[in-house]
Structure 1
Amino acid sequence: MSAPFIDIQPNTRGLPGLTALEDIVGGLLTFGLVAAVAGVALSSVAWAIGSHSSNPHVAGKGKSGVVVAAGAAMLLGAASTLVTFFNNAGAGIR
């Protein structure tokens, strides 16, 4: 005896308030991007100050901060695409 096949797909009318939740998530993405811009700016300042004051520790932390903030911005920008990709990949498993 085999298990019954269950096929449930995401829909946009399943829960009340879904539009409001989408607006909230969009706002969080915007907040995250603004924070990433601030992170790049502050880390760049630390990198410059560390470089000009011959302080390799501060310069290194500034470089790391720039890379982390840029990576965060990339992930925030790609969040919807990443989730869609993995949803489609998972839906293809049978």
Structure 2
Amino acid sequence: MSSILAEAVTQLAYDPGVSPAEGGLPGLSVLKQVVSSINLFAVIATVGALCVAGIVWAWGHHTGSHGAEAKGKQGALVAAGVALLLGAANGLVSFFSTLGTQVK
């Protein structure tokens, strides 16, 4: 029984030696450009969403429509959060990737 358990633990502790390596597949530079373009598109869309949310917020405030004002505030906060995530995407992925390499 203990030898089966020891073998299972040994297999769980096996390091396959896989790590990210640049240049392993063709098209990596194209993929980076595509992802960068998607990120730029998302940033531009977020700016537009923030403008629309600001307009709805102001319209709701000036017309006395509390529901529209609340939705405008909500939209502005969501757009700000999306902008934060888009700007921090590289740093977040890098941080958690580095953190993941430290798991033993």
Q: Normalised by the shorter chain, which TM-score bucket?
A: over 0.9
Which of the pair is proportionally richer in helix? Answer: 2
Q: Which residue of 1 aligns with 2:27?
A: 17
Give 3-state SS (helix, strand or coil) of 2:103's partner: coil
Of structures 1 and 2, the one with the larger relative CO (CA 8 A, separation 6+) is 1
User: What is the rounded CA distance, in whole Å, between the counterparts of 1:19 and 1:87 in structure 2?
Assistant: 20
* Higher gyration radius (CA): 2
Runs (4 or more) in structure 1 with deviation over 6 Å come to: none
Q: Which residue of 2 aligns with 1:67?
A: 77
Q: Which residue of 1 aligns with 2:3?
A: none
Shift of 1:11: 1.0
User: What is the rounded CA distance, in whole Å, between the counterparts of 1:47 and 1:5 in structure 2?
Assistant: 54
Shift of 1:78: 0.4
TM-score by length of 2: 0.87
Structure 1 unaligned residues grouped into runs of 5+: none
Q: Which residue of 2 aligns with 1:51?
A: 61
Shift of 1:56: 0.3
Shift of 1:5: 2.3
Q: Which residue of 1 aligns with 2:93?
A: 83
Give the letter aligned to residue 86 of structure 1.
F
Q: For 1:55-79, what per-residue CA distance to the aligned partner results, in whole angstroms no more than 9, with x for missing partners?
A: 0000000000000001001100000
Q: For 1:31-67, what per-residue CA distance to the aligned partner results, in whole angstroms no more than 9, with x for missing partners?
A: 0100110011000000000000000000000000000
User: What is the rounded CA distance, in whole Å, between the counterparts of 1:35 and 1:11 in structure 2?
Assistant: 32
RMSD: 0.9
Shift of 1:87: 0.5
2:49 paired with 1:39? yes
